[in-house]
Amino acid sequence: MSLMEQLNRKALSLSVPLSVHLDVTYRCNERCQHCYLEHDGENELTTAEICGFLKQFAATGVFFLTISGGEPLLRRDCFEIIEFARELKFNVKLKTNALLIREQQARRLRETGVEQVQVSIYSHKPEVHDAITRLPGSLSRSLAGIRLMRAAGLKVTFANVLMKSNARDYPGVQALAAETGSHYTLDPTITPMLDGDSSVVAWRLPPEELRAVFRNQRLVGNVEDFCAPPPPIDDGIREGIPCSAGHTSCYISPWGDLYPCVQFPLPCGNLRQHSFSEIWAGSAQLGEVRSIRAKHLSTCSSCSHLGTCTRCPGLAFMEGNMRGPSSADCEKSFLRTGVVTAGMLAGHAVSPLAPPRSGLVQIQLPSSLGTLQSTSP
Amino acid sequence: MKDRYVARSRTVAARQLGEEMVIMSASDSTLFNLNPVATLIWQAADGRTLLTKIVEERICAAYEVAPGEALRDAQEFVAALASHGILLLADSPIPDSSAEPVKRS
């Protein structure tokens, strides 16, 4: 078991919120076509409020602090907040588009001890990246900021969200990351807007493109292992928690609302009304989230992918049931392995590449579990 | 080994989790999990106290251990953390450290 896994287990056993994602603003200087946020900036938390909450986070045991937005550097007090967080010894990760990074800011971030900076880069082609951000010149400016941060000695990660409009550009983004000495992560998840509007989901990667991603050795490593059919399910998996959201991590909005995760818009309390520890320990909503074990999931508990699926409880919640399947993750499990999911059989998720649902669908499971048969309605 | 002053580096992230201390180096992102004894040394590393005094006052006072053995272990420990830039070692007090007093829980 890695040290990070040990750390998470210990935090879980002590009910410690190890990680907090804090959005300090929803205002942004880009207008990304797939963004899940409204860019309202009214009544945001003040500097004093945020610093007070940071003290509460530290006292409760929070170690990893992600400062994000919107574009966090649009706040004039962003450096003050980051520096205060570092005084409190948080491991700070900053998510920014780097448009406002100049040499002075890059140096200041490095001197403050920010552990890493993540920047979303969508394509190596300016016309594609700038069309997604809806800001002409944004790729060039973001890359300039990245180079300044790298020159200052900061660890930078390229976050490459994949969608219809940039589906084939990830090799170019990978090359840019390598050229600048940066890390690279790829994310094919497009999240519905926090107000429930799911129109942005139309930007999700087409299934055939996602399947190709899962079979790209440069992205997933050993393709055979990555795409292997799910292994047998044991009691450890059935008794496991579906996700760390609400257990060892949570999300705070620019108004102090606490949610289990940025992708899980279940309001659990507001820091302007209650202390962080009061909400963390006493929220009925967090209590409900924490009560759910894999065996309690309404459809997924009978799915052969239960132990390996990336099922997001927040996406499931946005589809109407935090205990139900997340159709996007059903699709990912299917496209990765070729094995149909219980959610697909139950009609929660349909992939154009899935076998037709009419007639008898037979899934071969590992021999120890026998053969599951299900008849479509 | 020569007695030295030890101070916590200002570049690290650190948090106490139960009786243990979690530390991450900002320079190489290495994660450390200090056991309760090592945590006592970390907390006492204020840049103004010699390692022998830390061992005597914090370790030997709290654990049944021979002073010589405790000091050898402590020297190995601080040398390992210093190699990752997590602790600073010096022959004289370290004034510009981030070594604010840490409250013992």
Predicted confidence (pLDDT) per residue in A85-134, tens digit: 999 999 999 999 999 999 999 999 999 999 999 999 999 999 999 999 99
Can you tell me the ipTM of this complex?
0.85
Which stretch, A40-44, A154-158, B94-98, has highest mean pLDDT? Answer: A154-158
Give the model's pLDDT for residue A189.
87
Q: pTM, whole model, 2 decimals?
A: 0.89
Give the model's pLDDT for residue A194.
79
Give the model's pLDDT for residue A307.
94
* A173, containing H or E segment: helix A170-179
The pLDDT-based confidence of A294 (bands split at 50, 70, 90) is very high
> Phi, psi at residue B68, to the nearest 5°?
-65, -45
Q: Is A90 on the interface with B (CB under 8 A)?
A: yes
Is A92–B13 a contact, with Cβ atoms under 8 angstroms apart? yes
Percent of the residues in chain B that have a pLDDT greater than 90, as a whole number: 73
Q: How many CB atoms lie within 10 A of CB A328?
A: 22
- CA of A214: how far to CAs of A162, A332, A336, in Å? 12, 9, 6
Mean pLDDT calculated for residue range A272-293:
97
Best CA proximity match to A330, nearest among A339, A320, A322: A339
Grouping H, G, I as helix, E, B as strand and the rest as coil, residue B4 is coil
Q: Which residues of A touch B33 (CB under 8 A)?
A: 3, 6-7
Give the model's pLDDT for residue A31.
96
Q: Which residues of A touch B18 (CB under 8 A)?
A: 10, 14
Instruction: Specify the pairing of strand A249-252 against strand A19-23.
Output: parallel
The pLDDT-based confidence of B42 (bands split at 50, 70, 90) is very high
User: For an interface test with A, which of B12, B15, B17 has the most A Cβ atoms less than 10 Å from its Cβ?
Assistant: B15
Evaluate if residue A19 carries a pLDDT over 90.
yes
Residue A291 to chain B, least CA–CA distance (Å): 23
Q: Which residues of A touch B16 (CB under 8 A)?
A: 61
Mean pLDDT calculated for residue range A264-288:
97
Give the model's pLDDT for residue A351.
56
Residue B26 to chain A, least CA–CA distance (Å): 5
The conformation of residue A48, written as its DSSP 8-state character, comes to H
Q: Are A70 and A39 in contact (CB under 8 A)?
A: yes
Quote the tokens at residue A108: 């200041």
Give the model's pLDDT for residue A40.
84
Q: Which residues of A touch B29 (CB under 8 A)?
A: 115-116, 155
Q: Is B101 on the interface with A (CB under 8 A)?
A: no
DSSP string, A97-120: --TT--HHHHHHHHHHT--EEEEE
Give the model's pLDDT for residue A290.
97
Evaluate if residue A230 carries a pLDDT over 50.
yes
Sign of CA dihedral A112, B30, A57, A263: positive
Which stretch, A35-44, A176-185, B80-89, has highest mean pLDDT? Answer: A176-185
Give the model's pLDDT for residue A114.
95
Q: Are B56 and B48 in contact (CB under 8 A)?
A: no
Evaluate if residue A368 carries a pLDDT over 80.
no
* Maximum distance among all Cα pairs of chain A, rounded to whole angstroms: 65
Name the closest residue on chain A to residue B8, using Cα atoms.
A89
